[in-house]
Amino acid sequence: MKFGVIIFPGSNCDHDAFWTVEQVIKQPVTFLWHESHDLENCDAIIVPGGFAYGDYLRTGAIAKFSPVMESVRKFADDGGLVLGICNGFQILCESGLLPGALMRNAGLKYVCKPVYVRVENADTPFTNSSRKGEVLSIPIGHMEGNYFCDEQTLADLQREDRIIFRYSTPAGEITAEANPNGSLDNIAGICSRGRNVLGMMPHPERASESVLGCSDGVKIFESMIHAGVLTAR
């Protein structure tokens, strides 16, 4: 399964994602330049964390106009797997691939620490290696991770089981204290209606090997491989 990792001016987690794919899950991977339309026959696209275009105007506002995102939108419309991590989540929302927006954290401070997220839906290409209700430890590092959407969109996400991760306690309780950024309904990650596009604020690539202190994040990448194998069949 071939992965593509997009590089924008200001990306700073692209090499981390590349390392995880190449060295940890042992899959072919290539970098994709933001000015190119060519996705190089990739089977899955990673929109990494960082500060695309310096986060000018607002996070993801300029990145959505890049040539590569035009191709990513077409790729996603055709059912291709797209994973947006942190800034990548913000870009996917700005690009219309996911609903809602990521606002400044409650408290207006940058938050960088390990958090716990509960898997709300294990029947997706990104979570099939987990079980529903499982709690994963994955770090965050963001200033604008406060997910928000209108009431109708939230109702749609809840009804369609598209809230994939919620911030929780280690025991899996969804509490205000477990929410690191004020995100609506403790949302840490959501998916598209087709289940093939996932945006999440925690960084699974930073929790993909035991040497990093936790390897829970590798389950997201392993799930993508498993989904790719099933699709190939």
CA distance readout (Å), 230 to 2, 121, 225, 226: 15, 18, 9, 6
In the residue annotation, 112 being an active-site residue is answered as no
136 contact partners, CB below 8 Å, separation of at least 6: 116, 117, 118, 119, 130, 165, 207, 216, 217, 219
CA 118 to chain CA centroid, nearest Å? 15
In the residue annotation, 203 being an active-site residue is answered as yes
In the residue annotation, 226 being an active-site residue is answered as no
The catalytic residue among 13, 93, 120, 203 is 203
On the CB side of 70, CA atoms within 13 Å amount to 7
CA distance readout (Å), 223 to 29, 81, 184, 194: 16, 11, 26, 16
The catalytic residue among 42, 86, 93, 191 is 86
Catalytic residue list: 86, 203, 205
